[in-house]
């Protein structure tokens, strides 16, 4: 592998890993803090991608689609938490799996009715359409760099909110002892709603950002869901930083696996997961 | 009664099929101190949790300042100036000492902010030394100071301490009692559960004894101390 190829694969790994982090961070928070196994989390990624398609067709730009899509996703997430997920906190995991699996079917059917079952492309915004020439034949698209940049900004913002704000302290405290948070006069249900809505918005944003690269197609949330659960398990349930580290590991393992070990590329990520679990059964970073 | 803070009327609470509280009446006024006594498993913690909405009584009512809070969520009851330090303390282990204190800070019911971060630091100098330590790095005594400090940060009118000194070394327990006395002097009402009957009855003016989910004594602490038989009968070990 020459240096230019290595550089491109490294950038691809970062971009893919960071994008997965957006999906997995919400999944791990909802799993860790509220104890909910949300199989429908991948659907939010799919919904984001379709929002990017529909809204960018309507407004003429992916940027506008994202500007409109994020508040829509937040509202949608808060509504779902209020209407359905708030009823699941005291139920066991089987009931959670039943409801959230049902939601996948509902969301896919709605997608089929409201849009269609075709594969669609989404245009990259014109100002990000360029490529950086690395060698005579190899170049790297600016849009992919932009995705990584947006994800890094969001990861830093998420770090700030969780580590430095009172809301973040309450979220982490809720992870430790829900009843005690309530006994201090804090409305934990409102905190759950905020966290859930945030998780939905991050997953939807990941879908919107990915739409121009991966295109938009039915059941696209399924693959992302499975890989996100792998990240949650590797990183340690409930740990956002664990999810970041794990997402980058998965991004590199998957990308370089495809290049270096094409025969077993589908397995590489799972081999990594197995290795990490043998080494640290509770994930890289348990909590924090 | 205008100065009535917290009341439980005819409380019946069950854990599954077992009947824990058998129609308990409880009340505490502004500034009052109650030693809540009884052997293990007599319903002391359950009574506290029933009034805070952490467990739901099957029958009976809970009133906070005369208003019905029977079905209120725990956080709404707590917002009425009731701070709870549970058995086993319940500090947030993934937060630092500073964060444990800051996350709960708020003004009291009447808007007062008598208890600030700085005042808690003055009251618990040991916490100041460990301010950036994680909750999991604290000793039992430090954890108890932290939960009391955290409760005070909500500027409560009522502080409930369940098993205030359980599992603490005698010297540390003495330090906790000294602090609780100081807190009592500021006029905060307190409900204290502890095995040290001498300490609780000297700090609290009133005492209640629970036996098998019923109140068998509700009177002055002096009366309890004047009647060693009462303690022997209802609280003594070896029965």
Predicted confidence band at A286 (pLDDT cuts at 50, 70, 90)? low
Listed by start position, the domains of chain B span 32-40+81-234
With contacts defined as CB-CB under 8 Å, which chain A residues touch B135?
176
pLDDT of residue B239: 43
Distances (CA, A) of A146 to A13, A141, A214: 14, 9, 15
pLDDT of residue A70: 96
Task: Choose among A170, A183, A287: nearest Cβ to B78.
Answer: A183
Q: How far is B184 from chain A (nearest CA, A)?
A: 20
pLDDT of residue B123: 92
Average pLDDT over residues A73-80: 97
**Chain B contact for A183, CB < 8 A?**
yes
Kindly state which CATH superfamily the domain B32-40+81-234 is placed in: P-loop containing nucleotide triphosphate hydrolases (3.40.50.300)
Task: Choose among B90, B99, B106: nearest Cβ to A180.
Answer: B90
ipTM of the complex: 0.90
pLDDT digits (tens, 9 = 90+) for B122-149: 999 999 999 999 888 899 999 999 999 9
Mean pLDDT, chain B, whole residue set: 92
With contacts defined as CB-CB under 8 Å, which chain B residues touch A175?
94
Strand intervals (E) in chain A:
131-133, 139-141
Q: How far is B94 from chain A (nearest CA, A)?
A: 6
Strand intervals (E) in chain B:
4-15, 18-29, 33-37, 59-64, 67-68, 82-85, 158-161, 189-192, 206-211, 214-220
**Chain A contact for B99, CB < 8 A?**
yes
Q: Chain B window 151-210: which residues touch A at a Cβ cutoff of 8 Å?
A: 151, 154
Q: Which candidate, B89, B51, B81, places its Cα nearest to that of B176?
A: B89
Task: Choose among A170, A172, A183: nearest Cβ to B74.
Answer: A183
């Amino acid at each position: 592998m020459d240096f230019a190829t290595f550089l491109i694969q490294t950038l691809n790994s970062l971009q893919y890993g960071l994008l997965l982090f957006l999906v997995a961070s919400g999944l791990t928070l909802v799993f860790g803090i509220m104890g909910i196994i949300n199989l429908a989390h991948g659907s939010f990624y799919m919904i984001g991608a379709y929002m990017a398609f529909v809204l960018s067709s309507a407004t003429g730009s992916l940027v506008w689609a994202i500007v409109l899509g994020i508040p829509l996703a937040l509202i949608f997430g808060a509504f779902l938490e209020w209407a359905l997920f708030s009823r699941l906190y005291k139920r066991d995991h089987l009931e959670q799996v039943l409801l959230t699996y049902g939601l996948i079917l509902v969301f896919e059917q709605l997608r089929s009715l409201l849009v269609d079952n075709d594969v669609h492309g989404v245009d990259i915004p014109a100002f990000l359409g360029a490529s950086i020439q690395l060698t005579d034949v190899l170049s790297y698209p600016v849009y992919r760099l932009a995705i990584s940049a947006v994800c890094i900004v969001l990861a830093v913002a998420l770090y700030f909110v969780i580590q430095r704000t009172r809301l973040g302290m309450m979220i982490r405290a809720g992870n430790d002892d829900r009843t005690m948070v309530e006994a201090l006069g804090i409305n934990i249900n409102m905190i759950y709603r905020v966290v859930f809505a945030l998780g939905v918005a991050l997953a939807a944003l990941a879908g919107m950002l990915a739409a121009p690269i991966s295109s938009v197609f039915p059941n696209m949330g399924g693959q992302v869901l499975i890989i996100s659960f792998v990240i949650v398990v590797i990183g340690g349930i409930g740990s956002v930083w664990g999810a970041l580290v794990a997402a980058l590991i998965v991004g590199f393992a998957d990308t370089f696996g495809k290049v270096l070990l094409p025969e077993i590329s589908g397995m590489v990520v799972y081999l990594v997961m197995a290795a990490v679990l043998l080494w640290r059964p509770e994930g890289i970073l348990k909590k924090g | 009664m205008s100065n009535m803070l917290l009341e439980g009327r005819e409380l019946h609470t069950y854990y599954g099929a077992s009947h824990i509280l058998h129609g308990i009446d409880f009340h505490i006024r502004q500034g009052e101190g109650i030693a809540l006594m009884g052997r293990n498993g007599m319903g002391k913690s359950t009574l506290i949790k029933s009034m805070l909405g952490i467990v739901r009584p099957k029958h009976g009512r809970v009133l906070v300042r005369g208003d019905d809070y029977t079905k209120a969520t725990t956080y709404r009851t707590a917002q009425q100036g009731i701070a709870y330090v549970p058995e086993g303390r319940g500090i947030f282990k993934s937060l630092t000492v500073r964060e444990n204190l800051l996350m709960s800070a708020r003004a009291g019911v009447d808007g007062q902010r008598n208890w600030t971060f700085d005042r808690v630091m003055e009251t618990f100098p040991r916490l100041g030394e460990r301010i950036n330590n994680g909750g999991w790095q604290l000793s039992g005594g430090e954890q108890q100071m932290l939960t009391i400090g955290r409760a005070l940060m909500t500027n409560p009118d009522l502080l409930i301490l369940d098993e205030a000194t359980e599992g603490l070394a005698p010297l540390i327990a003495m330090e906790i009692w000294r602090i609780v006395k100081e807190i009592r002097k500021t006029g905060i009402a307190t409900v204290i559960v502890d095995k040290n009957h001498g300490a609780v009855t000297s700090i609290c003016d009133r005492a209640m004894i629970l036996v098998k989910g019923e109140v068998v004594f509700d009177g002055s602490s002096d009366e309890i101390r004047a009647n060693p038989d009462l303690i022997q009968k209802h609280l003594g070990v070896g029965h």
